[in-house]
Each structure stands twice: as structure tokens, then as C-alpha cells.
């Protein structure tokens, strides 16, 4: 019998409703807690595949299912179906209305750093005094420059931002190791956190420690598969509005900016699903919040990559526009918070069953048991918009760009939509969307070739090692995500747009783990399921109802890096399909 002092209080039993799983933490160790017929079971909190939080998964019969890649583990033994992996378990007890867990068996040994190589040994471009390599980086092409250096210097190299050394790696093993070690060993890069905090954004995107864990639970619950099934009618409604808009454009032959069109869709979906607010930018002429985001994101991105924080001392017109956009966006979001709080106070039953992320934040308490401040709530609202608008919109636009040059796949997508969706212009529910494998393959292939987040910055929380190198605390590391997805060892014919690779069993190289468009590990994007649902649903609607052609040459569409990577110069024309 373990001594009592080995057990740590992890949760109040009354807060754990249903079978779970529940994502808990004890002594900084992640745990997945489940309720079985035989009582409580506690397993290691991270999936052995890529480190996803198992407490964000689901229970299916007698199996614990990881939300990311659907690995299934026995609730009895912890063993994985169809594989050798087995979840480690630990003792759990319920006493006096509380859950106590002994995580001593789950604690990992500290990372060894003895004998590791120095980062000084890494190759890289020659820096200038004071400037470093800043003169070589055009922010609008930052990802292309880093990818070019990776081809020149190898998968792991260094460059200098001013006097600060930045390590860059595109090595798949190092990337997965780093992502799996978040948030304890690595965190969001200090420059990213500093820049977001400076403009008043301190939400789940850049929160750390206990604050991140409490906010992450709310975000993950709001965007979980079971929630999306109930919320899918919102996606259907917005897609139908967009169809009507495109019918009007088709009647005049107008060429539309596809990125703008897709942003209207994704911002409306995010608003309705996360906030319960129908912004209807698809049909509106005054797109207030979208206009502000178009100022905020690129300016924040430039500041993250800047050598010197010039804006703290000299403000240009772009800085003043950012300040004005932040004030206006916060005023608009504050109005939403006040309205939501008033509605919940007027309806206590609604407060007990929040219907969306905003309502959940208003009624929830933070890691200290206190209500979230309006500043924290608004930071998370704008974080949801940032994460939910551009990334999905740009992926949709890139998919259409690729399909314009692959008419056979546009036709295959159209046939699938006709067969599966029947007489409906838009897929009717989540189950129908999940029966669209061609749409899913096109989404995966687009994410592989055109990842809208082509790199990610992290910082070391402690002295550690990575890939055999000693990494001092505070070191900035850039994870360059696309090269491993374009490596012929990982994918056959890697530079070609080949959706069939996701549909057909083949002996050719095909390693899905080599692409991580949503990140990996415990901080994997909680919006992954929503993003894929939006992409498959809208592509299906588009090609079921329209012929789509690019209004211009393929070579005139370029990769533009702002906060994420968008297709610059992409305009399309819609033509209604003949009656079918």
C-alpha cells in the first residue's frame, strides 16, 4: 500500500460528470482519468504516439480513444488495439469527495544533457555585427528563406536575429520530441508571448502552466467532436449563405478574391460556434471584426520577427492603425461579453449548461478558483478568431488553387458530393461529412503541400537537450514544418499534388506523422476537428454546385507570409453547374 503522502489531490469528484476521460494534472504530471464499472482508473496523460492529451479524447465502449489519430486503448489493461503500446497506470483513490492520484510511477527522469553537443557547432548563414542575419530576411517570405537555408545548411542550423541566436530544425525526430515536451520543457517563444501580451492578448494560445491548463480544458471541450455534432447546423447555414452569394457573383461573371470569401465563411463559423453570435459577414457589407483582424495579425507578425522594437519608441502610421484596430476590436468583443453575461444571469439554467466557449468562460473559474477577468475572456475570444479565421480560410483557398490545375480531382470531388449528399446542396450533418473521403484526402494533401503555419517558434523553459545538442534555458528554436512533408523518404513524389496517396494502400513511402499542420503533443491545436469539418463541408458544397476556374495564371499566385501563409493574388470565377 502506498503511503498517503504519495497521493496528490487532483480534482473534486463532483466536478467529474460522466465516464470521462478527464484531463488532470498532479505534481505537474498529466493524467487521463476515467470512470469504469470497477471504479476510477488513472493512466498516463499523453498518448505514446505524438503526446496528445488523452483526457481530451473520448470513451467508446471499453476503449479510451485519442482524439488526434484515433488510437484506442483498453480501459482495463491500457493496451493499444493493434499495437504493442501500453499506457502506464497509477493508483487513484476517492476520499472525502476528492480524487487523489499517486503519479510517482509516471514521472519521467530529467533529460540528460551530459555529453550533448554545443549549439555553436551548428552551421548557418554568416551574421553581420549587431544586425545578425536580419538584413537577409524579408518577413513576407520568411518561411521560404528558412526553407532555403535548410536546403543549404542541412536540417538543423542557426541564424542570428540581432545578437540573439535562433536555432532552426526541420528534423522530424527533433520536431516531434520538442512538441511532445511542451508545455513543461518548451513553451511558446518568448518573443511571441511578449508581442501578444504587449497588445493585450493573453489567452490559451500564449498562456503557460496552470493558466494554460484551465483555459485549454474549456477550449478543448468547446471544439470536441461531440460538441461539433450539435453545432454543425451552424456550418450548414453559413455554407448555404455562401452558396447564394456565389450564385449572385456567377450571374455577373465577377472574379472574386477567394481568400476574402473563405475568411467570411470561417469568421462566421467561429463566431457562431465559439461565441453564439451570428456576425453574418457573408451577407453583410460592413465586416467590422474582419477588417480589424486584417490589421492586427500582419502587424503582430512583423513585430515578432523584428530585430529591434522600434514601435516602443517611434510610432508609424501602421502602429497607430494597430492601436485603433485593437481598441475597436476589444470594444466590440466587450459588448459580446456583457451581453452574454446578462443572458446567463437572467437564465440560471442556461448558466449550468453553457452552449459555447464564450458562455463556458463566463461561468467558469480559473486555476485559482476565481472567475475569469473580462481581459482574459476577451483575450481568448480574439485568440479563437485568430486561430479559427486565417488558418482554415487559407487552407480552403490553397485547396481550390491546387484543384484548378487538377480537374480530375475536382470532378472526383463533385461525384462524391453528388453520391453522398444527394439532393442537399450542403452536407446535412457530421456523419455525412465523415463519409467524404475524397474531400478529406484533398484536405490532407493541401495541408501537406501548403501548411498555412509553415513554422513555429518555441523557447526552452530549462536547460535541456534536443537531438543530441545541449539547449540552454531561454534558447529560441524555430520548428520548420514543411521540409519533412516534402522529403521523398516520407512521401512518394512529394512535390506533386496527389490526393490519392491518402486513399490507396501502397508500398511507396507514406508517413502521415511526417506532417504536423496542427502541431503535436499536449498543445496540439484544439480546433483540428472543426477545421477539417469546415474544409470538407465547404469543398463539397462548392464543387457540387459550381464549376470553379482561376481568374489568372497559376504562377501569379504566390505564397505570402503574414501571421500565416496565404495565397496572394488568387481570384476565381464561379459558374453554376447544369441541372443534375
In a domain, 95, yes or no: yes
In a domain, 417, yes or no: yes
In a domain, 339, yes or no: yes
Boundary residue ending a domain (73, 101, 129): 101
Question: E strands within 389-472?
Answer: 455-460, 464-466, 469-471
In this structure, the answer to whether residues 214 and 345 fall within a common structural domain is yes
User: What is the share, in percent, of the chain residues with pLDDT greater than 70?
Assistant: 96
In this structure, the answer to whether residues 73 and 215 fall within a common structural domain is no
CATH number, residue 260? 1.10.630.10
Note the pLDDT of residue 574. Answer: 97
Boundary residue ending a domain (60, 86, 101): 101
Boundary residue ending a domain (48, 77, 101): 101
Number of domains in the chain: 2
Domain carrying residue 311? 209-576
In this structure, the answer to whether residues 373 and 496 fall within a common structural domain is yes
- State the SS3 of 453-499: CCEEEEEECCCEEECCEEECCCCEEEEECCHHHHCCCCECCCCCCCH
- Asked if 445 and 501 touch (Cβ cutoff 8 Å), the reply is yes
89 beta partners: 43
Is 452 exposed, middle or buried (CB count within 10 Å of its CB: 0-12, 13-18, 19+)? Answer: buried
Question: E strands within 13-118?
Answer: 22-26, 29-36, 39-44, 58-60, 63-65, 72-74, 89-90, 92-95, 98-101
In a domain, 136, yes or no: no
Specify the range with the lowest mean pLDDT, choosing from 37-46, 405-414, 431-440: 37-46
Note the pLDDT of residue 458. Answer: 93
Specify the range with the lowest mean pLDDT, choosing from 3-7, 357-361, 536-540: 3-7
State pLDDT tens for residues 70-116.
889 988 878 888 877 788 888 888 888 888 888 776 764 334 455 67
In a domain, 173, yes or no: no
CATH number, residue 92? 2.102.10.10
In a domain, 338, yes or no: yes
In a domain, 249, yes or no: yes
Contacts of 41 (CB under 8 A, 6+ apart): 33, 34, 35, 75, 89, 92
In a domain, 174, yes or no: no
Is 553 exposed, middle or buried (CB count within 10 Å of its CB: 0-12, 13-18, 19+)? Answer: exposed
Q: What is the pTM of this model?
A: 0.84
Amino acid at each position: 500500500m502506498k503511503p498517503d503522502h504519495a497521493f496528490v489531490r487532483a480534482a473534486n469528484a463532483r466536478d467529474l460528470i460522466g465516464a470521462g476521460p478527464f484531463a488532470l494534472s498532479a505534481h505537474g504530471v498529466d493524467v487521463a482519468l476515467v470512470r469504469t464499472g470497477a471504479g476510477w482508473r488513472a493512466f498516463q496523460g499523453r498518448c505514446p504516439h505524438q503526446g496528445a492529451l488523452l483526457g481530451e479524447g473520448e470513451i467508446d465502449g471499453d476503449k479510451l480513444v485519442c482524439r488526434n489519430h484515433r488510437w484506442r486503448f483498453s480501459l482495463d489493461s491500457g493496451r493499444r488495439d493493434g499495437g504493442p503500446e501500453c499506457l502506464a497506470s497509477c493508483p487513484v483513490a476517492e476520499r472525502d469527495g476528492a480524487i487523489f492520484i499517486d503519479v510517482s510511477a509516471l514521472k519521467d527522469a530529467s533529460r540528460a544533457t551530459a555529453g550533448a553537443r554545443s549549439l555553436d557547432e551548428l552551421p548557418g548563414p554568416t551574421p553581420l555585427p549587431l544586425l545578425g542575419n536580419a538584413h537577409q530576411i524579408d518577413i513576407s517570405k520568411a518561411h521560404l528563406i528558412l526553407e532555403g537555408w535548410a536546403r543549404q545548411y542541412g536540417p538543423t542550423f542557426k541564424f542570428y536575429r540581432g545578437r540573439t541566436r535562433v536555432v532552426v530544425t526541420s528534423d522530424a525526430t527533433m520536431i516531434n520530441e520538442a512538441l511532445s515536451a511542451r508545455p513543461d520543457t518548451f513553451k511558446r517563444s518568448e518573443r511571441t508571448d511578449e508581442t501578444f501580451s504587449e497588445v493585450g492578448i493573453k489567452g490559451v494560445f500564449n498562456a503557460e502552466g496552470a493558466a494554460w491548463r484551465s483555459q485549454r480544458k474549456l477550449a478543448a471541450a468547446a471544439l470536441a467532436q461531440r460538441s461539433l455534432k450539435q453545432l454543425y447546423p451552424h456550418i450548414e447555414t453559413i455554407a448555404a449563405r455562401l452558396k447564394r452569394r456565389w450564385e449572385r457573383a456567377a450571374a455577373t461573371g465577377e472574379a472574386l478574391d477567394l481568400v476574402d470569401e473563405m475568411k467570411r465563411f470561417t469568421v462566421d463559423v467561429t463566431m457562431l460556434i465559439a461565441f453564439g453570435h451570428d456576425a453574418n459577414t457573408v451577407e453583410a457589407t460592413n465586416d467590422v471584426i474582419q477588417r480589424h483582424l486584417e490589421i492586427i495579425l500582419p502587424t503582430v507578425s512583423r513585430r515578432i520577427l523584428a530585430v529591434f522594437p522600434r514601435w516602443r519608441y517611434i510610432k508609424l502610421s501602421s502602429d497607430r492603425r494597430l492601436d485603433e484596430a485593437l481598441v475597436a476590436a476589444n470594444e466590440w468583443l466587450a459588448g459580446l461579453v456583457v451581453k452574454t453575461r446578462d443572458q446567463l444571469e437572467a437564465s440560471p439554467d442556461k448558466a449550468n449548461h453553457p452552449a459555447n466557449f464564450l458562455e463556458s468562460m463566463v461561468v467558469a473559474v480559473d486555476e485559482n478558483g476565481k472567475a475569469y477577468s473580462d481581459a482574459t475572456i476577451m483575450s481568448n475570444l480574439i485568440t479563437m478568431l485568430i486561430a479559427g479565421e486565417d488558418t482554415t480560410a487559407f487552407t480552403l483557398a490553397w485547396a481550390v488553387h491546387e484543384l484548378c490545375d487538377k480537374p480530375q480531382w475536382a470532378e472526383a470531388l463533385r461525384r462524391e458530393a453528388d453520391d453522398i449528399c444527394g439532393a442537399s446542396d450542403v452536407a446535412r450533418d457530421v456523419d455525412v461529412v465523415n463519409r467524404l473521403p475524397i474531400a478529406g484526402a484533398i484536405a490532407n494533401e493541401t495541408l501537406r503541400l501548403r501548411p498555412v503555419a509553415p513554422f513555429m517558434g518555441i523557447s526552452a523553459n530549462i536547460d535541456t537537450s534536443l537531438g543530441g545538442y545541449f539547449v540552454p534555458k531561454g534558447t529560441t528554436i524555430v520548428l520548420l514544418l514543411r521540409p519533412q512533408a516534402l522529403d521523398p523518404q516520407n512521401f512518394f513524389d512529394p512535390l506533386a499534388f496527389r490526393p490519392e496517396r491518402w486513399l490507396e494502400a501502397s508500398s511507396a513511402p507514406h508517413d502521415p506523422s511526417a506532417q504536423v499542420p496542427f502541431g503535436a503533443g499536449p498543445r496540439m491545436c484544439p480546433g483540428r476537428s472543426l477545421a477539417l469539418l469546415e474544409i470538407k463541408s465547404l469543398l463539397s458544397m462548392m464543387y457540387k454546385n459550381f464549376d470553379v476556374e482561376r481568374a489568372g495564371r497559376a504562377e501569379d499566385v504566390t505564397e505570402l507570409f503574414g501571421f500565416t501563409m496565404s495565397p496572394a493574388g488568387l481570384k476565381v470565377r464561379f459558374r453554376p453547374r447544369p441541372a443534375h
